Amino acid sequence: MKDLQSMDMFNTEIASGIKVVMFSADWCPDCRVIEPFLPEVEDKFSQITFLYADRDKFIDLCAELNVFGIPSFLAYHNGKEIDRFVSKDRKTQEEIETFLSEALSKC
């Protein structure tokens, strides 16, 4: 998963292809719960480029995108948001994979 470093990087990355941005934070316990299985999810959905956005570094972007709970996932295809899995609830591997499958079906 590629770490976002700036808004310019965010805009450049989502501009083309299929990208999923995961909003998270070091202090988030529900975010830590999903970390062990994220590499498996990334391998399973290799046609997607996964990006990590630290919620604390990108708080303005979170507000702009109405991302108020973490972990949250936003899917983009060629710069356009196509789906989102945004809530404050803990997410399971199955829920994340279902979200990713549904997002891919919209491309």
Range of the domain at 62: 2-105
Active site includes 107? no
- Give which of 54, 55, 45 is closest to 83, Cα–Cα: 45
Q: What is the pTM of this model?
A: 0.94
Give the type of residue at 20: V
- What is the pLDDT, as a whole number, of residue 87? 80
**What mean pLDDT, rounded, does the chain reach?**
95
Q: Encoding tokens for residue 96?
A: 């994340």
pLDDT in tens, 9-33: 999 999 999 999 999 999 999 999 9
The total number of structural domains that make up the chain: 1
Instruction: Out of 14, 20, 22, 31, pick the active-site residue.
Output: 31
Active site includes 28? yes
- What is the pLDDT, as a whole number, of residue 3? 96
Q: How confident is the model at residue 51 (pLDDT cuts 50, 70, 90)?
A: very high
- Cα–Cα separations (whole angstroms), residue 9 to 13, 52, 55: 6, 11, 15
CATH number of the domain within which 38 lies? 3.40.30.10
Instruction: Out of 1, 9, 25, 28, pick the active-site residue.
Output: 28
